[in-house]
């Protein structure tokens, strides 16, 4: 009849087929769901300083500092196929040199077991908002948008952009204070 290795091979092959079918069913059961949630984002206290760009020696750069408020409820997104979310705030603007400038200012990983409702006030960016020139001064259309990646257990990684984008005009003078 069959020896032990043949039986183990058959059992392993059957187990892999069942696991592949369960993974495909997991993906197909959530592929057509809407992963957008309403967000409220506000940016305030924008200040710009002129700093030395040490990477290029002697070129000036604009450094923007700001605070933002974020209110979003991600609890609707967590179903049995969502492992975690990677949430980040992006500032987008145009300059004469570059048509598209995107700067990530803040990010957070939100897991299922953590708090999925964010009601944050006065958040400071984690990363510098630095422009390689003086393009932020008097800029009229800096757009802030919240984006997030939905990281599933099975399936593809979704990139979702919040529908709530805000456009903030930047100041026309540099801030002279040491601390912003």
Give yes or no for a contact between 142 and 136, defined as CB atoms under 8 angstroms apart.
yes
Using pLDDT thresholds of 50, 70 and 90, give the confidence band for residue 93.
very high
Average pLDDT for residues 151-180, to the nearest whole number? Answer: 85
CA separation, residue 165 to residues 124, 126, 135, 162, 168 (Å): 18, 20, 21, 7, 10
Q: What is the pTM of this model?
A: 0.84
Regarding the domain delimited by 34-168, which CATH topology (the fold level of the hierarchy) does it fall under?
A: Immunoglobulin-like (2.60.40)
Q: Is the pLDDT of residue 127 over 70?
A: yes
Ordered by start, the domain boundaries in the chain are 1-32, 34-168
Average pLDDT for residues 65-88, to the nearest whole number? Answer: 93
Q: Is the pLDDT of residue 180 over 70?
A: no
CA separation, residue 64 to residues 44, 58, 128, 129, 135 (Å): 12, 19, 8, 5, 11
Runs of H (alpha helix) within the chain: 4-30
Q: How far apart are CA 102 and CA 63, in angstroms?
A: 14
For residue range 115-126, list pLDDT tens digits in order.
Answer: 789 999 999 999
């Amino acid at each position: 009849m069959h020896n032990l290795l043949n039986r183990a091979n058959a059992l392993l092959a059957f187990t892999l087929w069942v696991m592949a079918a369960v993974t495909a069913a997991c993906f197909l059961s959530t592929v057509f769901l809407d992963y957008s949630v309403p967000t409220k984002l506000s940016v305030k206290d924008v200040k710009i300083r002129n700093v030395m760009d040490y990477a290029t020696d002697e070129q000036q750069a604009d450094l923007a500092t700001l605070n933002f408020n974020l209110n979003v409820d991600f609890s609707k997104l967590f179903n049995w196929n969502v492992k975690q979310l990677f949430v980040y705030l992006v500032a987008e603007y145009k300059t004469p040199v570059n048509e598209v400038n995107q700067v990530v200012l803040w990010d957070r990983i939100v897991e299922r077991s953590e708090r999925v409702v964010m009601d944050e006030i006065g958040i400071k960016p984690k990363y510098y908002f630095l422009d390689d020139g003086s393009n932020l001064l008097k800029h009229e259309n800096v757009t802030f948008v919240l984006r997030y990646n939905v990281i599933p257990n099975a399936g593809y990684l979704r990139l979702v952009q919040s529908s709530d984008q805000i456009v903030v005009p930047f100041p026309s003078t540099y801030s002279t204070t040491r601390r912003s």
